[in-house]
Structure 1
Amino acid sequence: MSKQVYEHIEESLYHEKLENGLTVFLLPRPEMSKTYAIFSTNYGSMDRTFVPIGQQDKITVPDGIAHFLEHKLFEKEDRDVFADFGKQGASANAYTSFTKTAYLFSSTTNVEDNVKTLLNFVQDPYFSENSVEKEKGIIGQEIKMYDDQPDWQSFMGTLKSLFKETPVNIDIAGTVESIAEITKDDLYTCYHTFYHPENMTFFIAGNFEPDNMLALIRENQASKEFSKLEEIKRDFPNEPSAVAKSENKIVMPVSVSKCTIGIKESTKELEPQEFIKRDLLQDIILTYYFSKSGQFYEELYQENIIDASFYFETNLEKNFGYSIIGGNTDNPELFTKKIIELLLSTKTQQLTEDDFERMKKKKIGQVLRSMNSLENIASKYIHYHHVGIDYFELIPEIQKLTVQDANGFLSGWIAEERLAVCKIVPE
């Protein structure tokens, strides 16, 4: 077990890669009463075309299967795993994103028992034809629920406008039609391909003793047999730089229109240094222009173009990236015009040294505040680990950025062919 001390944030992180390939991170916080653990696999809804382990030819599985698999792992032949965690005083959950699936718990008692439960249930799949058919009805209802949510339809409508080929334009849960095609054998194929310890990460943070915790995890993993993992061959389509369509209008039973402007940030795989630089600058620049303390937000608010629902978000993954700016508006045409005018104007703008230093300090403050949350640390650390970046080195990376970096980013950030608009309008 190796130990790394991060003096600038006063943290000590323990790390080991076990013999079976599982990467383990331990962040002891003895001053806290809660412990939080997350067991994550580098497998998400985008991984729909791949070569199954032990085979030669690639296959394409039904949309929504990663999310379906997440649901099914909690159900065993004789019990529901949520009940196991409940008896041990833990709150458990799971989530599937475009790029990963994660299983987690938090508790103040029985931490070691809950760690064993987390490791054991994820590594012990049980799927039957009857339970798979039953789950289709449950997830089908979940899909229909999201179909009726304007916020989710706005989000997915924007991604479908931005991306033509990349499977980020497909709903994580799939469709009622696609999940109807899922079989027990499909689930086992995906599980055995992507749920090998070599493709997984375990992160635990909170009140525990690191030597004892790692000994428990080692013993647990040594009691199980895993064949050596072959290289996972995933197939992603080539994505054009331009958006799939510049505008997407969706009619729904809403009282107020919603409007989002999407920016197609990245369409290719980035190296770690290029990734972290772009990741930070996307967020810093968006915050500069669109935060509620900014001049542009105040102008739109005073003109009654936006309300308190206005938001922006940015996401960069290894193979794609996007930013979204949106909210409720009574005038989606004017909202769109104002946002796009500002975005296009950034190409010729130059930030001053003082402006950029303030922006960097604000970003550092946000990162430090987020590190008060065990949940945030664990999920962010795994996110950055998958792309070869140490999350605890984020602040030095921010400090290294220069105003020349920011202005260089601005000069090539926005192009009309990489902008898309999604409008949710009343029936």
Structure 2
Amino acid sequence: MEKLNYDNLGEVLYKEVLDNGLTVYYLLKPDYNRTYGLFTTNFGSLDTNFNGRAYPEGIAHFLEHKLFEKEDGDAMYKFGALGAQTNAFTSFSRTSYLFSTRENAEACVELLLDFVQEPYFTAENVAKEQDIIQQEIQMYQDDSDWALFSGLLEQMYPASALAADIAGSPETIQKIAVDELYENYETFYQPSNMNLFLTGPFDIDAMSGLVRENQAKKSFPEAKKIAVEPLLAEPARPGQSREFELAMPKLAMGFRGEDALPADPKERMEYKLSIQLLLSLLFGKTSSFYEEHYNSGLIDDSFAFAFDMDARFHFASMTVDTEEPKKVEELLQVQLKSYKIKDDFNEEHLSLIKKEMIGDYFQALNSLEYIANQFASELYGDVNFFDMEAILKNLDLTTISKHAEAFTSQMQILDYTLYPKSK
């Protein structure tokens, strides 16, 4: 077992790769009274085309739902009987299962490992789940914020898996069959394609012994080489809009990255932090852009921006409720394209933004859930969440400019707007 000391943060992380390929992280928190576990597979909504075959959209999310149901009852009830809470979620590139408990931590870890690693799919329970997920999809169809972001993705990455809802559609859900669930499970739920993160006040030797023993007594099909298709999308489609039940127009801007991400894991994290800092410098609440247009009433508290990055895509997005979406669209484009000459792009402002970001970082260290989620992704290789503070501290305008130039010089820009329905 590898022991990693982060003296600047007061954290000690243990990492172990088991004989079956499962990567396990242990983060001891002796002053906490709660244990949190996160079991993750590198399998998400984008992984619908692999090994020469296409599968229905939404199958990763569907599989996540189905794993809780067993022949002898629902795993959620079993966690409840142990005094624990449990949940799961599917993103574009991964699926995670979790528990949080103040008691019976070892039993919860066993249960987490066992229910995820013992699939039980039948034609009857698949049909039942199809109805449940269709109702779930329909529940958020009338949410304007969901419609805005999903519409933005659909126009930013047309005719791609990223344009589809993570949960799929009622049509694709109906196509999912039992054999397809097992095929996806056996491909992506291999221990070598998964990681387990455990944090809390447990004894490291006892907990690691429990995990090793649990995995040693199980056998798994031979791991298949996974040949996932790259994310292929048509050119972005700017200027799209639709009418919706709302009082004020909602604008979304997308800046689709076309540059190749750095191959080095540390530089990849540096790239993401650089673009996040760039956006904060230009559009954050300490920027003259925000102050000017907020005071004029052109934007309001709904204004938000983000940078999403995965191995297969990266993009910046901005959303706002505004009576003048076309004017705001033009201002946002100009602000980002001409970042080099903006007054807010200076070392003094950068120092302020970095202090705020580092403050948020240290606050996040108090959240077991947040820390665990940062280790679920393998995007940065051996560079992890605890390395972020040192990388962030060393970023200067020169480095940020290098990455900003790579991103902005090749990005595709589009806008997507929801307008109030005509009376």
Shorter chain as denominator, the TM-score bin is over 0.9
Equivalent residue of 2:140, what SS? helix
Distance in 2 of aligned mates of 1:38 and 1:17: 16
Residue by residue, what CA displacement relative to the aligned partner does 1:125-156 show, whole Å, maximum 9, x if unpaired? 00010111111111111111222111111111
Distance in 2 of aligned mates of 1:125 and 1:417: 42
Unmatched 5+ residue regions in structure 1?
Answer: 52-57
What's 1:217 paired with?
A: 211
Distance in 2 of aligned mates of 1:366 and 1:285: 17
Q: 1:319 to 1:274 in 2, by over 3 A?
A: farther
- Which structure 2 residues correspond to residues 338-353 of structure 1 after superposition, within 5 A? 338-349=331-342, 351-353=345-347
What's 2:313 paired with?
A: 320
Matched residue type, 1:3: K
Distance in 1 of aligned mates of 2:331 and 2:352: 25
Matched residue type, 2:38: I
Equivalent residue of 2:92, what SS? coil
Confirm or deny: 8 A CA contact 2:154 2:163 kept in the other structure.
yes
What's 1:334 paired with?
A: 327
What's 1:193 paired with?
A: 187
Matched residue type, 1:246: P
Distance in 2 of aligned mates of 1:417 and 1:357: 27
State which of 173, 182, 192 in structure 2 corresponds to 1:179.
173
**Deviation for aligned residue 1:238:** 4.2
What's 2:250 paired with?
A: 258
Matched residue type, 1:374: L
**Deviation for aligned residue 1:412:** 4.2
Q: 1:406 to 1:270 in 2, by over 3 A?
A: closer
Q: 1:385 to 1:354 in 2, by over 3 A?
A: same
| Structure 1 range deviating more: 93-102 or 368-377 | 368-377
What's 1:301 paired with?
A: 294
**Deviation for aligned residue 1:166:** 4.3
Distance in 1 of aligned mates of 2:85 and 2:338: 48
What's 2:277 paired with?
A: 284
Residue by residue, what CA displacement relative to the aligned partner does 1:258-314 show, whole Å, maximum 9, x if unpaired? 111111125646422342121111111111222223322222211112222221111
What's 1:93 paired with?
A: 87
Q: Does structure 1 residue 41 correspond to structure 2 residue 41?
A: yes
**Deviation for aligned residue 1:76:** 1.0
Residue by residue, what CA displacement relative to the aligned partner does 1:14-33 show, whole Å, maximum 9, x if unpaired? 11001111100000101011
Distance in 2 of aligned mates of 1:116 and 1:386: 28
Distance in 1 of aligned mates of 2:231 and 2:379: 24
Residue by residue, what CA displacement relative to the aligned partner does 1:40-93 show, whole Å, maximum 9, x if unpaired? 000000001111xxxxxx100000000000000011123111100111111100
Equivalent residue of 2:119, what SS? coil
Equivalent residue of 1:327, what SS? strand
Matched residue type, 1:360: K
**Deviation for aligned residue 1:400:** 2.7
Give % identity. 36
Equivalent residue of 1:234, what SS? coil
Residue by residue, what CA displacement relative to the aligned partner does 1:89-130 show, whole Å, maximum 9, x if unpaired? 111000000000000011111111111111000000000101
**Deviation for aligned residue 1:337:** 2.3
**Deviation for aligned residue 1:367:** 1.6
Confirm or deny: 8 A CA contact 1:309 1:327 kept in the other structure.
yes
Residue by residue, what CA displacement relative to the aligned partner does 1:235-256 show, whole Å, maximum 9, x if unpaired? 114457xx42112202111122
Q: 1:112 to 1:182 in 2, by over 3 A?
A: same
Matched residue type, 2:116: V
Distance in 1 of aligned mates of 2:133 and 2:409: 39
Equivalent residue pairs, number: 419
**Deviation for aligned residue 1:355:** 3.0
**Deviation for aligned residue 1:329:** 1.7
**Deviation for aligned residue 1:202:** 0.1
Equivalent residue of 2:383, what SS? coil
Equivalent residue of 1:147, what SS? coil
- Which structure 2 residues correspond to residues 89-238 of structure 1 after superposition, within 5 A? 89-164=83-158, 166-238=160-232
What's 1:55 paired with?
A: none
Q: 1:209 to 1:26 in 2, by over 3 A?
A: same
What's 1:54 paired with?
A: none
| Structure 1 range deviating more: 361-370 or 126-135 | 361-370
Equivalent residue of 2:257, what SS? strand
What's 2:63 paired with?
A: 69
Matched residue type, 1:155: F
Distance in 2 of aligned mates of 1:72 and 1:379: 22
Unmatched 5+ residue regions in structure 2?
Answer: none
Q: 1:307 to 1:349 in 2, by over 3 A?
A: closer
Q: Does structure 1 residue 409 correspond to structure 2 residue 400?
A: no
Confirm or deny: 8 A CA contact 1:43 1:194 kept in the other structure.
yes
Pairwise CA RMSD of aligned residues? 1.9
Residue by residue, what CA displacement relative to the aligned partner does 1:217-250 show, whole Å, maximum 9, x if unpaired? 011111111234232111114457xx42112202
Distance in 2 of aligned mates of 1:7 and 1:417: 39
Confirm or deny: 8 A CA contact 1:24 1:201 kept in the other structure.
yes
